[in-house]
Amino acid sequence: MPFPVISVAQMREWEKVTWASGQTEQAVMRRAGDAVARTAERMTKVGDRILVLAGKGHNGEDARFAAASIKERTAQLVPVFDPDLVIREFSPLLSPAPALIIDGLFGIGLNRPLARPWTHLIEKLNETKVPLLAVDVPSGLNADTGEPLEVAIRATITLTLGAVKQGFLKPSAWPFVGKLEVAPDIGLVPYPFETEISLIDAADFDGFPPPRPVAGHKGTFGHLAIIAGSVGYHGAAVLAARGAQRAQPGLITLYTTEGAYVPVARQLQSVMVKPWQPPLRLPESCTALMIGPGLAAEDLAPTMRDAAHDLWKNSELAVIVDASALAWLPEGPSKSAMRVITPHPGEAARMLGVNTSELQADRPAALRQLSRRFGDCYVALKGHQTLMGRSTGDLFVNSSGNPHLAQGGSGDLLAGYLGGLFAQPELQKEPARTLRYAVWQHGAAADSLLARKPNWTVEELADVLGSVR
């Protein structure tokens, strides 16, 4: 099940319902501590020393239980009631440097600026460069607004408890939250309220995509057409095609400009590559169309833009649009067939006529507006914590992936992978889930690569895309 994104007030109501059911706070804190301990173990190796800083509230109790639960490491528990005292002992605590510091100083109830001794301690912790694991919320961050209360812990990982706090989705919070993870099973009753936004859980994709029928053939799994690539940007077309191949549709046909045809065709074998020649006649077997990667050359034929405009407006096929082609889309309704756009924040801002900072300030509202403006299409608003959904209904946030995805070609690969999935008739039956799966898989593949090597390339990402289970 996806993890709900909620406010501090909703979290408190959830806790009240839980206590009324007979569950105890002590039992919940113990399970929360166990979850923190398992994450700390994953972030370290056997024999490492872990420094556990525990404040006086429930957050501190979670940290104390974590210290007691950590296995095969030395967990040094430091009660923090007087920050000045801890600061005076800071050098000995860091000699030798621990492998990890667990931040259990303040929880989600903090809503006012901290006194100077506390901010001084947090600053010193941030300066250590030791990996930091925040319990529920980075100390000093407002969990509702996502704004630091003057200063906040810059966590490597934030393990939030029960559900995601809404402030964590704000760009202002991202430098402090780090990698966002959720410990959902801490003994609370099932979440009793409705939420608009949820965080994707990898378990959502157990058994998905479904197994292929044993008697399936190329026609069973669809035919994707791709319009991509131009002079100087032929690599984008190749990466989009390779992304599509990893989704394994039955057939892929790539249309590219005459100037890019030779370098594109030389790099692809099972993909059928054809030079762009208007009027475009798609194969009768075509089930989906993806347009956009590498169509940035200044001398691009106007007929290509006209075709993209017409196909978005009138095609009965599923149409996915990315990159340069986003600027060619007509506003207003289109055919009832599925439509998907995948803008990054800069592209989305241009589509809405606002600046990027305005758009980032309220990403859910921006996504809803984009979807409404372009015919109630599905939107994947890319970037850190990619957001997915439509003008109405549930929104979903993805937390897989890492900053190494910030390489040229990463988005082209995702667009092709989406196209390859959406070309398959069986996956068109669950468009929202298919979209979420593609985005999650793209990020999870990057995480898998990063665990093995720090300097992976997009070409290597193309090799592992679709393999994470």
Tell me the residue ranges of DSSP E strands in 179-293. 179-183, 197-199, 223-227, 251-256, 272-275, 288-291
Per-residue pLDDT at 111: 87
Q: Is the pLDDT of residue 6 over 90?
A: yes
Rounded Cα–Cα distance for residues 304 and 143 (Å):
47
Q: For 68-79, what is the mean pLDDT?
A: 97
Rounded Cα–Cα distance for residues 239 and 192 (Å):
44
Name residues whose C-beta falls within 8 Å of residue 218's C-beta, 6 or more positions apart in sequence.
250, 251
Q: Furthest-apart CA pair in the chain: how many Å?
A: 76
Give the pLDDT band (50/70/90) at residue 60.
very high
* pLDDT tens profile 147-203: 999 899 999 999 999 999 999 999 999 999 999 999 999 999 999 988 999 999 999
Per-residue pLDDT at 300: 86
Q: Is the pLDDT of residue 1 over 80?
A: no
Q: For 431-454, what is the mean pLDDT?
A: 97
DSSP notation for 259-283: HHHHHHHHT-SSSEEEE--SSP---
CA angle 459, 463, 466 (to 5 degrees): 125
- For residue 8, give the 3-state DSSP assignment: helix
Q: Which residues of 190-219 are buried (b: 16+ CB within 10 A; e: fewer)?
A: ebeeebebbbbeeebbeeebeeeeeeeeee
Is the bond preceding residue 279 a cis peptide, omega within 30 degrees?
Answer: yes
pTM over 0.85: yes
Both structure tokens of 271: 């993909």
Q: For 248-263, what is the mean pLDDT?
A: 97
Q: For 352-373, what is the mean pLDDT?
A: 97
Rounded Cα–Cα distance for residues 180 and 178 (Å):
6
CATH superfamily of 3-194: YjeF N-terminal domain (3.40.50.10260)
DSSP notation for 322-391: -GGGGGGPPPS---SS-EEE---HHHHHHHHTS-HHHHHHTHHHHHHHHHHHTTS-EEEE-STT-EEE-S
Per-residue pLDDT at 334: 86
Rounded Cα–Cα distance for residues 402 and 447 (Å):
6
Both structure tokens of 51: 């420094």
How is domain 218-464 classified at the architecture level of CATH? 3-Layer(aba) Sandwich (3.40)
Displacement of CA 453 from its chain's centroid (Å): 20
Which secondary structure element, helix H or strand E, spans residue 449, and what is its range?
helix 431-452
Half-sphere exposure of 203 (CA within 13 A, CB side): 5
Judge whether 197 and 397 are in contact, CB under 8 Å.
yes
Instruction: Compute φ and ψ for 199, nearest 5 degrees.
Output: -95, 135
* pLDDT tens profile 421-432: 999 999 999 999
Rounded Cα–Cα distance for residues 168 and 304 (Å):
41
Closest by Cα among 136, 172, 130, 177 to 154 = 177
Radius of gyration, CA atoms only, the chain:
24
Rounded Cα–Cα distance for residues 151 and 348 (Å):
31
Judge whether 362 and 145 are in contact, CB under 8 Å.
no
Each domain of the chain, given as residue ranges in start order, spans 3-194, 218-464
Judge whether 103 and 159 are in contact, CB under 8 Å.
no
